[in-house]
Amino acid sequence: MPAELSLLETRVLGVLMEKERTVPDTYPMTINSLVAGCNQKTSRAPIISAAETEVRSAIDSLKSLNLVIESSGGRVSRYTHNFERVLKVPRQASAILAVLMLRGPQTAGELRMNCERLHPFSDISSVEGFLNELRDRSAGALVTELPRQPGSRENRWAHLLSGAVAIPEFPPGAALVSAATPSVSELATLKEDVARIQAELDELKSVVAGMTAELRLR
């Protein structure tokens, strides 16, 4: 990594990497769309409110590192990322890094789910394989595995593009409070159950409505 990036610089870079794959018709991006992407209220952690001048400053810094390229063929300047070429990482790995830059530390299961629109991984083990490669790079680690949180079943991963990650300290008894935290698989099962119950409820409402209409006709 040529230099440690600030939060806003990683946010700008992550937005470019995300939008290239999710909305290719509007890529390369204008400054206005970049500001909107940085300040997006969904799929972002932490949520920020960056001014256009701040985003421009971050772009200039990334341009000096060759991580962002400016093109001005139209009426306004547009920007593309050069992340994979500069850091020599495959597109699968850059999808993982983009999600970590945009959403903060996550487990391998969460990364697989949140990477779906950027790159569909076949299973969690494939995500873990790329995470291990990014951690064990001879050119320098780009991710790190964080200590397991109290009550958690899986370890979270974080990017190292902004330097070492601060490890939060948990007070005694935190494990008791967090012990009921569901895993990603449990959440997925819960969502399926809710969807099934909702479908059954809708079907029951339809039957009741039909019976009511039939009784009125008699």
pLDDT for 100:
98
- Residue 207 burial (CB count, 10 A): 9
Q: Which of 64, 62, 46, 47 is nearest to 12 (CA)?
A: 62
- pLDDT > 90 in the chain, percent: 68
180 exposed, middle or buried (CB, 10 Å; 0-12, 13-18, 19+)?
exposed
pLDDT for 186:
54
Confidence of residue 188 (pLDDT cuts 50, 70, 90): low
203 pLDDT more than 60? yes
Domain boundaries, the chain: 1-87, 89-181
Cβ contact 34:59 at 8 Å: yes
| pLDDT-wise least confident of 14-18, 125-129, 166-170 | 166-170
Sign of CA dihedral 54, 57, 59, 61: negative
CA distance 22 to 17: 9
Look at 113 and 168; give whichever has higher pLDDT.
113
pLDDT for 168:
62
> Rounded mean pLDDT of 50-58?
98
Q: Does 1-87 match 89-181 in CATH topology?
A: yes
pTM recorded for the entire structure? 0.77
pLDDT for 149:
81
Q: How many CA atoms lie within 13 A of 23 on its CB side?
A: 11
* Fold for the domain defined by 1-87: Arc Repressor Mutant, subunit A (1.10.10)
CATH of domain 89-181: 1.10.10.10
Mean pLDDT of the chain: 87
